[in-house]
Amino acid sequence: MPYLLLIVAIMAEVVASSLLKATDGFRKLAPSLGVVVGYGVAFYTLSLTLLTLPLGITYAMWSGLGTAATAIIGGIVYKEVISLKKALGLLCIIVGVVLLNSGELV
């Protein structure tokens, strides 16, 4: 159950972050409400996740996977360029999250 909550938290954060650009500096009501609700859901479900999962791993997954997904959405929806450097950086984030979740490195 905590991993399901974490997935919801990541998805809500990605939606909220992706909508930020559409708010036009919070001058457009609908995307602005989406940002507020999205972050509310994200932080609430993240707090529930932290009742059972360790902070370091949870936050690394939430922020890392959220960052990677938001960057990909920026490329698809907002036509932002994902250069080779950016793609390698995103790959490093994802590999880092995987390594954190694989246990101790020996």
Tell which phi-psi region holds residue 24, choosing left (phi > 0), alpha (psi between -120 and 50) or beta.
Answer: left
- Between CA 93 and CA 53 the distance in angstroms is 20
| pTM for the whole structure | 0.87
The domain limits of the chain are 2-101
Distance CA 94, CA 97 (A): 5
Mean pLDDT for each 10-residue chunk of the chain (106 residues)? 95 97 96 98 97 91 92 94 93 88 62
